Structure 1
Amino acid sequence: MTTPAGRPGYVLARVVDTLRLTPSFIRVELRTEGPGSISSSGIPDEIVHLYFPADGEASPPLMTLEDGVLAHHEPGAARESRNYTVRRWDRDLVTIDFVDHGDGLAASWARSAQPGQVLGVWGTRAWYSPPAETDWMLLVADLPGIPALLRILEQRPAGVRVHAVAEVAHHDDILEHAEDPAVTIDWIVAGNGRSASLMAEAAISYGPPPGDGYVWFAGEASVGRSLRKHFRGERQMDAHRLALVGYWRDDKERWLTRYHEQSDALLADYERATLGARTEAEAEIYWDEILERAGL
């Protein structure tokens, strides 16, 4: 049985305002509206799935509930979507900082977005989860992850020292942030598909203060792997003290071709390995190790 979506999880959202923040960031403020509802998890690196209307369409279709599954079930109803970090969430106002890079779907939409235009919003998911006994944090991100990094700084636990490595495409992409004696930020102009990334080297060279740490990363996937091998392998940090999320891949098309050639075997390996009592953090690390062994 199919019924209109009037439950939590998927809503339409209307553009309220747009602002060009920097050469690489376009801020879009959205107001969510029914039917259905969605609310913030409160976790600072939460993402939402944005669904874009087709050409000539005022808004994407609503999702429907069919046999307990909320989705675009109707033939032809599915729309392209992208995952985006929420920069700010205030009740029904959701602020997204889009990265303006090339002619991709989301970037092209953000450049031309006008008040009144409508997106579909479905979510949320998050990874940031520092243990209560954390003395210092290392935050690392390139452009897509910087909105989450800045939100983490705003919600930083009291008494925790933080060092951040933020890699941008242009000097003018450096964003203002509240000064805090317990926070240091190393802004780097590199990477982001324009030149070689320097994030991994900067993060690995960080000499943390005494105590228990937490490392969070959001950016190009190969950099996340380098950080995983260093902090998990060489520094022997526990899995629950690492959140390393590959937001994008520099060689996406080639990687996807090679992945699809062996995906069945890789997923079977992963399912066998995670039958035991692995935490989500351990499972994500193991999945990356499986991919690395496969040359991916």
Structure 2
Amino acid sequence: MRSAFSTKEEKNMKSRLVDRLLLPVHVDTVEQLGPRLRRVILTGSALAGVTWHPGQHVRLQVAPAPPALDWIVGTLRTYSIWDFDDQAMELIVFDHGEGPGAGWARTARPGDELMLLKPQGNLAVQSEARYHLFAGDETAQVSYGPMLRALPDDAQVFARVEVDSPAERIDLTPKQRQAARPGWNVDWTYRQGRSAASSQSLVEAVRSLPLPDEPGIAYLAGEARTIQLIRRHLVEERNWPRRHVRTKPFWTPGRKGLD
């Protein structure tokens, strides 16, 4: 039988570890942007001095977890960061499926308190690239927006993002930026109820792009099987070196933990 002392020591140890790993924040703003899109702004003094580069994500403690699963940090879910300025972190959450993450996204309210890990991830634009190619689904939009904003004014960009309907589209190219950046070729395709997994329509949208003969840098994010198909097209049909294709699988049917 465990003594009260050991239980107290265990709690103190966990508290010290959590304080080192997780940052306390609270929900400042919640706004519905579309049928399955919510804008959530997290604020807190613990965010002061935290660094972030466009394309990174943050992991939120959305619920406790049984000790056997995760004794320290609880149930974490990953969300790409749309913007981050000093003590305000803006997320655009795509609500899909069931589970703790979906439950948090649907019920988050201003004033709610939660914990998060510092921004992480290596998805980032390569400024020295001859041109940039972005392709992905709904789950990739939030990463791509900040990455596109980070590119220099003279960057050449090709992008195809597939969502189910126009209501689930995030404007990645505000009019004032698009007018100043004539080298952008950015558009959306719509599945209209078809599965996002192994999306041939997104592959065809990329295949039809008038890319220059020489390879640029590709950023492929979203459903894992679709990413594989697009990478195969670039490597086998357009003869791109594999090192020029950066991939970030966020999800695939029947599997967890791809973030």
Task: Provide the secondary structure at the position in 2 that maps to 1:18.
Answer: strand
1:184 equivalent in structure 2: 185
Structure 1: 4+ residue segments shifted above 6 A: none
1:262 equivalent in structure 2: none
1:14 matched to 2:26: yes
**Residue 234 of structure 1, aligned match among 223, 233, 237:** 237
**Residue 55 of structure 2, aligned match among 42, 45, 59:** 45
1:164 matched to 2:174: no
Residue type matched to 2:23 in 1?
A: V
Matches within 5 A, 1:82-97: 82-97=77-92
Residue type matched to 2:57 in 1?
A: I
With over 3 angstroms needed to count, the CA separation of the structure-2 counterparts of 1:195 and 1:151, relative to structure 1, is closer
Q: Is the CA contact (8 Å cut-off) linking 1:11 and 1:37 kept in structure 2?
A: no
**Residue 221 of structure 1, aligned match among 212, 219, 224:** 224
Q: Distance in 2 between matches of 1:78 and 1:13?
A: 15
Q: Is the CA contact (8 Å cut-off) linking 2:141 and 2:170 kept in structure 1?
A: no
**Residue 201 of structure 1, aligned match among 193, 200, 204:** 204
2:35 equivalent in structure 1: 23
2:168 equivalent in structure 1: 173
Q: Distance in 2 between matches of 1:191 and 1:222?
A: 19
Question: CA-to-partner distance for each residue in 1:233-292, whole Å, 9 max, x for gaps?
Answer: 333323332111110002438xx9xxxxxxxxxxxxxxxxxxxxxxxxxxxxxxxxxxxx
1:130 CA displacement: 4.3
Q: Is the CA contact (8 Å cut-off) linking 1:52 and 1:119 kept in structure 2?
A: yes
Q: Is the CA contact (8 Å cut-off) linking 2:83 and 2:146 kept in structure 1?
A: yes
Task: Provide the secondary structure at the position in 2 that maps to 1:157.
Answer: coil
Q: Distance in 2 between matches of 1:235 and 1:86?
A: 32
Residue type matched to 1:53 in 2?
A: A
1:204 CA displacement: 2.4
1:147 matched to 2:142: yes
Q: Could you tell me the TM-score, scaled by structure 1's length?
A: 0.70
Residue type matched to 1:185 in 2?
A: V
Question: CA-to-partner distance for each residue in 1:164-184, whole Å, 9 max, x for gaps?
Answer: 111112221223331322212
Q: Distance in 1 between matches of 2:75 and 2:193?
A: 23
1:188 CA displacement: 1.3
1:122 matched to 2:120: no
Q: Distance in 2 between matches of 1:239 and 1:33?
A: 42
Residue type matched to 1:178 in 2?
A: P
Structure 1 residues without counterparts, runs of 5 or longer: 55-59, 61-71, 257-296
1:37 CA displacement: 6.8
2:9 equivalent in structure 1: none
Report which stretch shifted further, 177-186 or 140-149: 177-186
With over 3 angstroms needed to count, the CA separation of the structure-2 counterparts of 1:39 and 1:191, relative to structure 1, is farther
Q: Is the CA contact (8 Å cut-off) linking 2:26 and 2:44 kept in structure 1?
A: yes
Task: Provide the secondary structure at the position in 1 that maps to 2:174.
Answer: coil
* Aligned positions, number: 236
Q: Is the CA contact (8 Å cut-off) linking 1:134 and 1:211 kept in structure 2?
A: no
With over 3 angstroms needed to count, the CA separation of the structure-2 counterparts of 1:210 and 1:168, relative to structure 1, is same
Q: Could you tell me the TM-score, scaled by structure 2's length?
A: 0.79
1:232 CA displacement: 2.6
Q: Is the CA contact (8 Å cut-off) linking 1:215 and 1:242 kept in structure 2?
A: yes
Q: Distance in 1 between matches of 2:248 and 2:211?
A: 21
With over 3 angstroms needed to count, the CA separation of the structure-2 counterparts of 1:191 and 1:136, relative to structure 1, is farther
Q: Distance in 2 between matches of 1:10 and 1:240?
A: 34
Alignment RMSD, CA only? Answer: 3.1
Report which stretch shifted further, 95-104 or 139-148: 95-104
Report which stretch shifted further, 83-92 or 182-191: 182-191
Q: Distance in 1 between matches of 2:93 and 2:50?
A: 20
